[in-house]
Chain A
Amino acid sequence: MNSGCQRETPAQSDWEQWLARNVSGLLLFARQQTRCEADAQDLVQEAVVESWRRQADGAPPPLGFVFATIRRRAVDLARKEDRRAGRETAATRETPACWFDSTVEERERSRLIAEAMRKLPEMYREVITLKVWGGLTFREIAEALEIPANTAASRYRYALAELRKRMPEILA
């Protein structure tokens, strides 16, 4: 009898290509949401595996859904360990893993951007990370953060302006 279903294993090559394309952005986002590198890596792994498992059709999960899962897990983690306040200020208190890749010439620029990003309020940092380095549309950002798309867009504009104020030399 044809049940209309077949067993399907995600091809190893699909899995590896998807990881190679997306893990850097996901890890950057997770690093901003957690206090330490180990937590960030665990969150990314859990979110990626969970999102792939939930795809009934065997296709790669939407990236926005993976970002949303990371964020939800980060909130759960913070709640569980009773350190919500810690999470919200983590990016400014800790010396986390380097956020960006940079050549020797770009090291100063990379440091400036990371520093300015850490000083941004979390709600702006999230939007700018998802848009610039996550490659999401405003609609996908809105779904990931559970906010209206217009709010995502206005937060993004505000965040860009704030960042630029904090490092005018970038465009000098």
Chain B
Amino acid sequence: MNDHKQELFEAELRRMAPARPPADFMARLMAARPPDKIRHQAQPAVVSGPRAWSLLRLRWLVPAAAVVIIAALGVWQLRLWPARLSWQTRPASAAPALKADAVRIDRELISAFDAVARLPSGEPVRFRCSQWMDQVVLSNKERGIVIEQRTPRVEVVPVRFETY
């Protein structure tokens, strides 16, 4: 299909308006207005210039901090190990390892926003920032155990300005 035909066809499709929602549904929606919310003053919607760059530059801090914490925990566990062996008198068979029989991994988009910065050459660059909540749920039905872990994550993706 060439561009002209495509445009004509799109125009034909656009002529059809989506069906109006039923009146009772609209009334229900009107009444469902969200409650009060907090508005933060002077919070710029667009992060520009040096701040955007510093955000990008500091991206490595999050995984680096996680690695440091994990390493520190590992060292701490190793130091505790001999002490734990001394007071742990129960035989291994008495405490069977917990096996998850269901694992659910999910993620939820919390928010998304654009930030705009300029390269030293003056060319604008857009950053697509998304805030995600990763969720892992392990469960063992036999023992009635559910372990849920939620981890916030920020994704910053530089993109060019494009016209669609």
Contact = CB atoms under 8 A, between A and B. Distances in A.
Interface in B34-51: 34-43, 45
A137 B28 CA distance: 29
Interface residues of B, number: 45
Contacts of B34: 10, 49, 52-53
Contacts of A24: 17-21
A55 B37 contact: yes
Contacts of B32: 45, 48-49
Interface in A112-126: 113
Contacts of A72: 108-109
Contacts of A65: 109, 111-112
A58 B111 contact: no
B102 to A, nearest CB: 13
Contact of A101 (B10, B14, B20, B37): B20
A28 B6 contact: no
A101 B26 contact: no
B64 interface: no
A41 B26 CA distance: 10
Given A5-B40, A28-B18, A101-B19, A153 B164 contact: yes
Given A23-B21, A72-B108, A98-B19, 17 more contacts: A4-B42, A8-B38, A8-B39, A9-B35, A15-B33, A19-B30, A23-B29, A27-B18, A28-B18, A41-B25, A45-B29, A57-B40, A62-B112, A102-B16, A113-B13, A170-B9, A171-B5
Interface of B: 1, 5-6, 8-10, 12-22, 25-26, 28-30, 32-43, 45, 108-112, 128, 130, 159, 162, 164
